[in-house]
Amino acid sequence: MASLSSCSKFVSHDPRVPSKVHHHSHNSNVFFPILSHSGLRFGISQHGSHTKIRTLRSSNHSEALVDSTAQISDVPNLSCLEAIERLKTNRDTQKGKQQFLAMYSSVFGGITTDPAAMVIPIDDHMVHRGHGVFDTAAIMNGYLYELDQHLDRILRSASMAKIELPYNRERIRRILIQTVSASKCRKGSLRYWLSAGPGDFQLSPSGCHQPALYAVVIQDQSPFDSKGIRVITSSIPIKPPQFATMKSVNYLPNVLSKMEAEENGAYAAIWLDSDGFVAEGPNMNVAFVTKRKELIMPSFDYILSGCTAKRVLTLAAELVREGKLGEIKVRNVSVGEGKEADEMMLIGSGVLVRPVVQWDEQVIGDGKEGPVALSLLNLIIEDMKSGPPTVRVPVPY
C-alpha cells in the first residue's frame, strides 16, 4: 500500500488537482475527488490556505465516492460508565451454558461477582504476546478436586515460561479458594492464569510492571457424558516438547486441531509425536486397553502431564485387584496398536474419561463403550465426591 507521503507526491503531480484554488474566499471549503495509481481513491479538500488529503473507497468499487471521515463519526466515544453499561448489556444478551460467577484479578486486587467487570487489561503480556500459563480444578459438591496437583503444575509452567510469581504458593492457593467461596458455586470449575502482567505492547516483558494472577469460577451443570465418540488423526503439527509440556495460553494448534475434528464430524483429533507414536488429544490424554487387558497410556515425556490422567492410573489399580485389568503401563503406543486395541478413551479434567468407539475409519473393539472406560469414569466421579483429603479441598462458603 502506498504511504501517505507517496500519495501526497502523486496528488501534487495530478493535472486534475489545481495547484491553487482561485475565486474563493478565505473561509471557503473546496473538495476535489481524484484517482490514485494504486487502486485507492483520494480527494483534496482546501479550506483557505489549508489543504487536506482524504482517503476514499477503493476505485474497484462501483459505489459513489464516500468521504471516509463521515464513517469515523459513526463510532461513539464512550465514557467509562457508558463502556461498563455496554459490557453489562453484552453479558446479558450473550449468555450460554456456562455462567461466570466470580473473578479474582491481582490488577484490581480483589474479587468481583459482576461478569461485566471480569476483564483483563489489553496491554497484559498474556493478551498480546501469549506470555501466560493457566490451569484448572473441578468443583464438586463444594470441594475443589486436585487443587494442589494442578497448582503445582501451573507453578512449573510459570517457571518454564519465565513468569515470576505475584505471590507465594500459599497465598495463591488461599486466593483461589476464596474466589470459589465468593462464587457460592458447588459444581463447576475454577480456572486461573499467571501472566507477565500489563505494562506495554513490546515483545519483551521488561516493561511489565508486575506479574498478574487471574481466576474465574465457571458454573456448568452439564453431566459428564459416557457416550462413545469418534476421533481422527490430526493433520495440525503437534507443539514441540518444550511447549507441549507447559500449559501455556498458546492454544492455537489445539484450537485448530479441535476445529479440524469438528469439521470432519469427530469429537477430537489425535496428535502423533515426531516418531509417529500416539501423543495426546487437543486438551486430553489418550489411553487404551489391549487385548491382553493392559491399560496403556503414552509417556508424559513430550506431552502435557495430565493431572486427571495420573489420577486415573492410580485409580485403575482397583480394576487390577478386581481382575478387570492385567497390568497398567505408561509407554510408547503405535498407531497400529492403538487402533487394534479393545478399548480407547480420552482422559482430562473436562471429559474425565470418555470412551472412543472409532478412530479414523477403524472401529475400536466392538464399536461400543468399553467396560474398563466406563469403570474408570465411575471411579473418578466417586473419587471427586468422596476421595481422600489429598485430592479434595473443602471450600468454606
Residue 156's contacts (CB-CB under 8 Å, 6 or more residues apart) are 246
Q: Provide the pLDDT for residue 64.
A: 46
Residue 218 has pLDDT above 90, yes or no: yes
Active site residue 162: no
- Average pLDDT over the chain, rounded to an integer: 87
Strand spans (E) along 131-175: 132-140, 143-145
Residue 21 has pLDDT above 60, yes or no: no
Burial of 25 (0-12, 13-18, 19+ CB in 10 A): exposed
Residue 120 has pLDDT above 90, yes or no: yes
Query: Residue type at 355?
Result: P
Q: Provide the pLDDT for residue 63.
A: 46
Q: Provide the pLDDT for residue 68.
A: 54
What element of type H or E holds 105? strand 99-105
What element of type H or E holds 181? helix 169-183
Residue 70 has pLDDT above 90, yes or no: no
Q: Provide the pLDDT for residue 97.
A: 83
- Residue 216 has a CB neighbour count (10 Å cut-off) of 19
The pLDDT of 347-359, averaged and rounded, is 97
pLDDT above 70 as % of the chain: 82
| Banded model confidence at residue 20, pLDDT cuts 50, 70, 90 | very low
Identify any residues that bridge with 47 across adjacent strands, giving them in sequence order: 29, 50
Residue 315 has pLDDT above 70, yes or no: yes
The pLDDT of 292-314, averaged and rounded, is 97
Nine cell digits for residue 63: 459505489
Burial of 217 (0-12, 13-18, 19+ CB in 10 A): buried
Residue 50 has pLDDT above 60, yes or no: no
The pLDDT of 272-293, averaged and rounded, is 97
The pLDDT of 91-114, averaged and rounded, is 93
Q: Which of 239, 247, 258, 339 is catalytic?
A: 247
Residue with the bigger pLDDT between 73 and 276: it is: 276
Poorest-pLDDT segment among 6-15, 43-52, 191-200: 6-15
Q: Provide the pLDDT for residue 32.
A: 41
Residue 66's contacts (CB-CB under 8 Å, 6 or more residues apart) are 56, 57
Please tell me whether the overall predicted TM-score, pTM, comes out greater than 0.85 for this model: no
Residue 269 has pLDDT above 80, yes or no: yes
Residue 60 has pLDDT above 90, yes or no: no
| Banded model confidence at residue 96, pLDDT cuts 50, 70, 90 | confident
Q: Provide the pLDDT for residue 87.
A: 93
